[in-house]
Amino acid sequence: MTSQGWRFNDQFYPSRTLMCQARRLEYVRLIVEEGLNYTQAARRVGVSQRTGKVWRNGRTRATGRNEHASVQVSAHWYRHHMLPIEQINVRYLSQSERLSIADRLRLGDSIRTIARILNRSASPISREIRKNTNPVTHRYEPYKAHEMSSLRRKRPKPLKIGTNPLLWQEIFRSLTQTLFSRANQS
């Protein structure tokens, strides 16, 4: 504090509240526009990592007063370092669809509403949410979901017939029986 008020980025503010609001806006700008990570942005505006986290995510104070997040959830400001989003096949959910699911869940939309927005059936959306919700935080994690989906799709997978000798014997028996019955009919 100086005789003229509170100072931040070579500007003077008449109250501490106004100076803190300017810091908070600058923190968000550094993350969104300049692509700094959270720690770098917090250092640049002169606050702790914890304060930066509160500004990003919002929190409920012990007094019951809510402090809302500084950034809109749908802005996709998180994970600037991610690779470009690509659609593998329309059959599978893309990373952008998973991000939309996460954003819509945070906004409180129902599964059917999310399905309508994504132009998909409600059942794959419900399955996706059920499979990829963190049991500890009870939050849907779109990046982890996409990573796990990619791992499940990887090939080559061992053939079921090669790993199960009983299945192989049954298929062989059934095929030979069918071939012999057709040969006898001709």
Reading the block at residue 168, the tokens are 């192989």
Q: Which CATH number belongs to the domain containing residue 42 in this structure?
A: 1.10.10
Is residue 1 assigned to a domain?
no
Is residue 12 assigned to a domain?
yes
Show the domain range for 17: 6-71
Query: What's the pTM?
Result: 0.42
Pick left, alpha or beta for residue 108 (phi over 0 → left; psi -120 to 50 → alpha; otherwise beta): left
* Domain identity same for 110 and 149: yes
* Domain identity same for 59 and 12: yes
Distance CA(41)–CA(9), nearest Å, equals 14
Is residue 101 assigned to a domain?
yes
Give the residue carrying structure tokens 């809302």. 68
Give the count of domains, the chain.
2
Question: 97-152: per-residue pLDDT in tens?
Answer: 998 999 999 899 999 999 999 999 999 999 999 988 888 888 898 888 888 887 77
Distance CA(37)–CA(80), nearest Å, equals 9
